[in-house]
Structure 1
Amino acid sequence: MKLLKNIQSIAKEVILKEAVAVHNLVERIDEEFEKCVNLILNSGGRVVVSGIGKSAIVGQKIVATLNSTGTPALFMHAGDAIHGDLGMIQHNDVVVVISRSGDTPEIKVLIPLLKRTGVNIIAMLSNRDSYLGRNANLVLHAFAPEEADPLNLAPTTSTTVTMALGDALAICLLEARGFTQEDFAKYHPGGSLGKRLYLKVCDIYPNNALPVVSENATLHEVILEITSKRLGATSVVRATDGSMAGIITDGDLRRMLNEHSGVVLPGLTAADIMTVNPISVGPDEYAVNALEIMQSKCITQVVVVENNQLLGFVHLHDLLREGLV
């Protein structure tokens, strides 16, 4: 086996070739690209993406991106199309056919069959002057002057350019549809990404203990409440109406003892120690926003308050457990 001595330079050359090809793609975003976006928007159907070989793999990724950003899409392998998969095509669908050369045998068989169904065909290819380029309704020009391998054979630059063009198409459709964060959350409910998009404070705080004392509580009662509820803090409510008055953390206790040289003053109450107007969140706030507040304020918990009434606590450990950190 040949021992490479210039591994880093080869890797950098590959990345630079692909970066240049993607950058040059900007010049090919033109009126025809706009027509492709509008064609899909106004079709009333789905986007059916087809290809073969590495183009098929890229096509499946583009389908996944379209579906997750609000454009219904499905993949049809060009080789399987002639063995029954053409049955998935509906009259108002738009078919995107991916091929670097546009002249592969499978594509030449597929295109006449697609034309027979009457659907609109968008070609995503490098060679406009090809069978596919000449027979498509519109062309997305994924031009790749050369592949990144020294033989100029392995699909590398061409697949990168195609994927970038597919992303551009998907995001334009997303913007045109007014796709929101809430819409995105519907399609991504799993994993930490999903939780960042849909998990709210009200989904978390009911599972926690609720440390609370009256503003007239003694220091001894405050310490017992913080210790027993194990959240490192207790809320303080007004004795008159139970509304939120403040918060006492274990850090507040340490600072109080330090200020008084470890001597606890007689008659000290929760109202004397608490931090008034504590940082709080509402129950409908997204959990990830609560996390951002904790991180920005360097605190480990926030109280949940609605209409000045205490509802609960959200602790940093809750967000760690949910995978948001």
Structure 2
Amino acid sequence: MNANKAILEIARKTIENEGKAILDLIPFLDTQFEGAVTAIFNSKGRVVISGVGKSALIASKIVATLNSTGTPSIFMHAADAIHGDLGTIQNNDVVICLSKSGNTEEIKMLIPLIKRGGNTLIGLTGNAESVLAKQADFVLNTYVEKEACPNNLAPTTSTTAQLVMGDALAICLLELREFGKEDFAKYHPGGSLGKRLYLRVADIVETNEKPIVAADASVKEVIVEISKKMLGVTAVMENKEVVGVVTDGDIRRMLNKHDNISTLTAKDIMTRAPKTIEADILAVKAMELLKQHGISQLLVVQDNEYKGVIHIHNLINEGIT
């Protein structure tokens, strides 16, 4: 086997091993898991998640997932907890301790302190016979047969199992809280993800010019308006209503078709029944319509009143693709 094939074979086996380990977690979803989810859901406090080493890194990721899906959470390193940070845990908080062995010294020292405070303790461990498992109010079993590491030492499969169990916990709580897109947008206001969830057409169109010509405007007036407003299109109005649009494509087609354009008006060259979108619609829907119809602009209206134009470049610039 050459070097490249060996590399790919190792990678394949790693993914297969971890994939199998994830599926093997399903039988561990029992009344203990249900009890843990219910305890968190009914709690009036936060979720405090703790661990050491690689488990601490996974704990931080679970905290981030819970926070972003509506369950207030905070990370507390187990080593720091027994050296002054135990005050992180407040009344009514639920504590989750992560430990593959369940017998980590810091975790073992932390357990009685948590129990003394009367907080609900959830153990997320791969060892059902460990101190953590026996002392916890609820146990989330993340047992794995072996690590992906050929020496069965480096935390690989075990940390993947912890992460997946944390995701299962978070999604169950999300469903119980009926956490929807609007809620998600509230917690993710930044970046392209947030914009897809809250940015509306009106937020964009108000920053654009508002190209408009009368139905009897000359071709020169139309070209000047399209060039001036730099959106590649202008609305055509008659009796205070939009009756069509003229795009730069319409201009090119007109020049190919007519030698004498001096007598032509906007109404002669416009496209009737233009595609429109309501101003209060999410911007991501505008992108869907542009792609669906293979066009670059949409006229924006609100209660049949013309508000302006949204261009595909506006959406791309906002990270909506």
TM interval, short-chain normalised? over 0.9
How far does residue 266 in structure 1 lie from its aligned partner after superposition? 5.8
- Deviation sequence 1:210-236 (CA, Å, 0-9, x none): 110111222222122112211111001
Distance in 2 (alpha carbons) for counterparts of 1:271 and 1:123: 73
How far does residue 30 in structure 1 lie from its aligned partner after superposition? 2.2
Distance in 1 (alpha carbons) for counterparts of 2:38 and 2:235: 55
- 1:188 aligned partner: 188
How far does residue 268 in structure 1 lie from its aligned partner after superposition? 2.7
**How many residues of Structure 1 are paired with residues of Structure 2 in the alignment?**
319
- 1:248 aligned partner: 246
- Deviation sequence 1:3-52 (CA, Å, 0-9, x none): 89721111111111000001111222223212211110101111110111
Q: Residue 123 of structure 2: SS of its match in structure 1?
A: strand
Distance in 2 (alpha carbons) for counterparts of 1:76 and 1:202: 43
1:275 pairs with one of 264, 271, 282: 271
Distance in 2 (alpha carbons) for counterparts of 1:227 and 1:91: 65
Q: Residue 209 of structure 1: SS of its match in structure 2?
A: coil
- Deviation sequence 1:92-146 (CA, Å, 0-9, x none): 1110110101011111111011100000011111111111000000011112111
CA contact (8 A) 2:219 2:262 kept: no
Which stretch of the first structure deviates more once superposed, 13-22 or 286-295? 286-295
How far does residue 83 in structure 1 lie from its aligned partner after superposition? 1.4
- Calculate the aligned-residue CA RMSD, in Å: 1.6
TM-score normalised by length of structure 1: 0.94
What amino acid does structure 2 have at the position aligned with 1:32? Q
TM-score normalised by length of structure 2: 0.95
Distance in 2 (alpha carbons) for counterparts of 1:50 and 1:252: 64
- Deviation sequence 1:254-313 (CA, Å, 0-9, x none): 23343x3x3246643222222222111111111111111111211111111012111011
Unaligned runs of at least 5 residues, structure 1: none
- 1:147 aligned partner: 147
Distance in 1 (alpha carbons) for counterparts of 2:109 and 2:243: 75
What amino acid does structure 2 have at the position aligned with 1:247? V
Distance in 2 (alpha carbons) for counterparts of 1:5 and 1:288: 43
- 1:125 aligned partner: 125
- 1:233 aligned partner: 233
Which stretch of the first structure deviates more once superposed, 220-229 or 110-119? 220-229
Q: Percent identity?
A: 53
Task: Report 1:191-206 matches (<5 A).
Answer: 191-206=191-206
